[in-house]
Amino acid sequence: MRQLCQRTIVVILVGLLFLALFPSMAGAEDTGLELYRGIVLTVEPAEENPLEDSGYGSQVFYVDVRILNGPFRDQVVTVYHVNGGNPTYDIFVEPGNRVLLEAEVDGDELLNVYISDHIRDTFVYILIGLFALLVLLLGGKAGLRSLISLLVTLILVSQVFLPLLLQGYNPMLLAVLLSILSIVITMVVVAGVNRKTLASILGTASGVIVAGILAFIFGKLTKLTGLSHEETQMLMYIPQGVDFNFQGLLFAGIMIGALGAVMDVGISVASSMFEIKSVSPDISMGQLFRSGMNVGRDIMGTMTNTLILAYMGSSTPLLLLFYAYRIPIERILNLDTIVTELVRAFSGSIGLVAAIPLTALAAAWLAKAPVGQGIETKQVS
């Protein structure tokens, strides 16, 4: 049984890695522009500013940029760069800045070049590298398994979940399948094929499903539209022309958002219970269950704060606006945007809390079941 499960997981992992190496099923929209990287050499104000009378404090510059990659590498181009006076969209550049360029190309000739944005991905890669390095240094083989499970989850979302959404599949069904598949693969990679893993899978999957059901019920009761964020509204105008179920997208996002925290709770409770069982083999099922619940209560105190504070942190600018304009609490608690975040936060938190007794119950039963039944306990080394 264990060997069959391991072979199945290996096949799934190979399939996911195959997906990661090839373009997404959703495809990419052809904008007709080529992307290049460049470094700013000089920035000079333009003598004439056609937007000077617009009233928006616009500025126009001639920016010399040396291209750093592609067929036009080392070529210096002069870019006509406009800042319209809106800090949300303006791109302020100085000599030495590395920028992303969009260019119209005709054969071997650059027709028009624009500064698209600052280059930020280099520092993102450095940050990701530091994270991976610390996980490997502190966690060793366990850290490596954690990174593999994270990679698998990212592949599932980017190469399976999102492309299937763009093809019009039901978002709730996809979220359930993605969550269960991610839970199974993550738990097996991290903890191996054993009873502890099975207990954590059962508890985590149950908790995530509880979060999804609550999000669905209270989303319907509060008449949430799923259109409270600007990015969601923009989905109505994408070139694929998909008729999205925006409420379904909201509920699916709530399930996936709670997934990581609930998995953390599930494996923590199950792991502690099996450690107790290994030290005290004669412990009764009831005592083992109570021990698991005690561990779960300690975890619950901090993990519920984690979810709530994460959502509050992302909404800080909006909360500041409410505070600055003294908007009544009754008005705030009836806004689609706020209720969406509250349903998201508390549905996920309830799913997390529900995972504790469910995991403890499953772990207590599996730990005390006769060795000849089910999956034997074997820890990944």
Judge contact between 228 and 340, C-beta under 8 A.
Answer: yes
Listed in sequence order, the residues at least 6 apart from 18 whose beta carbon sits closer than 8 Å to its beta carbon are none
281-294: per-residue pLDDT in tens? 888 999 999 999 99
CB atoms under 10 Å from CB of 310, counted, come to 15
**Measuring CA to CA, which residue among 173, 251, 181 is closest to residue 213?**
251
Q: What is the DSSP letter of 237?
A: G
144-201: per-residue pLDDT in tens? 988 988 898 889 898 899 999 999 899 999 999 999 999 999 899 888 889 999 999 9
Burial of 213 (0-12, 13-18, 19+ CB in 10 A): middle
Q: What is the reported pLDDT for 59?
A: 82
Structural domains for the chain: 34-119 (2.40.50), 142-368 (no CATH)
Q: What is the reported pLDDT for 171?
A: 92
Quickly list DSSP for 320-367. HHHHHTT--HHHHTT-HHHHHHHHHHHHHHHHHHHHHHHHHHHHHHHH
Q: What is the reported pLDDT for 97?
A: 95
The b-or-e profile of 140-152 (16+ CB within 10 A means b, else e) is: eeebebbeebbbb
Residues lower than pLDDT 50 in the chain: 1, 20-30, 373-378
Q: What is the reported pLDDT for 52?
A: 58
pTM: 0.77
Tokens of 140: 């060793």
Judge contact between 208 and 179, C-beta under 8 A.
Answer: yes
Judge contact between 166 and 240, C-beta under 8 A.
Answer: yes
